[in-house]
Chain A
């Protein structure tokens, strides 16, 4: 993080915000009446899903910008955001299963929201595999951009799955399937803010990693020519 004051500030801020969010989850938020303490998974689970959706939206926008302008920085933004989004959606799926076991009596059920989340995770894992398999930086970026735009369809699909189809997944906004008190709302909002800061901090580091890799590629070329 040499000479990266913004990166250090973002990392420190996100660590502080995550600590506050954790404190609120365990000390401030009340115990949910029907589910008990296991409901506390919900705060980070929702925040993690939010970061996943937001990250995939950034990937889609970066991909559109790359196709329109052909500038490498948009490709870097798209791929960096996709990697972070994939990690957060993976955490969302795993922690959702951990919440489901004591509440639904099973880790997994093939209901619309869960199925779409699993498919979404696989689609973005495939995005990384696609990038690794295509030869040539420009061709790779173009293919990935088209894929990144097409893959974005899973975001609205996942968001509306609990509204369009019959599902047992709780609806956070309407409070359907879960009683939401003001303290729970405060904790959720702080968790959402903390995860958004964490995303910004990770994205900055991931973008820097890719720029460093580009520098190495230029040096390798010089070394081969020299």
Chain B
């Protein structure tokens, strides 16, 4: 049987790496969503000018 220390150590490696990868991905998703909102706001602000013509 594998010692508990070995199992916990490999869980730390796998969990730690996955946590880092997910954290990067989630932060990027969050920023992308904010970019979409900002772009929608900016295009909304510019829209009346184009509609007037």
Identify the A interface with B (CB < 8 A). Answer: 18, 22, 36-38, 40-41, 44-45, 48, 84, 87, 90-91, 94-95, 98-99, 101-102, 198, 202, 205-206, 208-209, 212-213, 215-216, 219-220, 222-223, 226
Contacts and interface: CB of A to CB of B under 8 A. Distances in A.
Contact of B35 (A90, A94, A101, A212): A212
Interface of B: 2-3, 5-6, 8-10, 12-13, 16-17, 20-21, 24-25, 27-28, 31-32, 34-35, 38-39, 41-42, 45-46
Interface of A is mostly: helix
Contacts, number: 80
9 contacts: A37-B6, A41-B10, A44-B9, A48-B13, A91-B12, A205-B21, A205-B24, A209-B24, A212-B32
Given A205-B21, A219-B35, A223-B38, A98 B9 contact: yes
A198 B16 CA distance: 12
Contact of B31 (A18, A99, A209): A209
Contacts of A95: 9, 12-13
Nearest to A84: B20
Given A202-B21, A208-B28, A226-B42, A216 B16 contact: no
B29 to A, nearest CB: 10
B34 to A, nearest CB: 6
B5 A90 contact: no
A36 B3 contact: yes
Given A41-B6, A206-B24, A90 B31 contact: no
Nearest to B38: A219
Contact of B28 (A99, A198, A209, A226): A209
Contacts of B34: 216
9 smallest CB-CB distances across A and B, nearest first, come from A219-B38, A95-B9, A98-B9, A41-B9, A209-B28, A91-B16, A98-B5, A87-B20, A38-B3
Given A91-B12, A91-B13, A213-B31, 6 more contacts: A41-B5, A41-B10, A102-B3, A205-B21, A209-B28, A226-B42
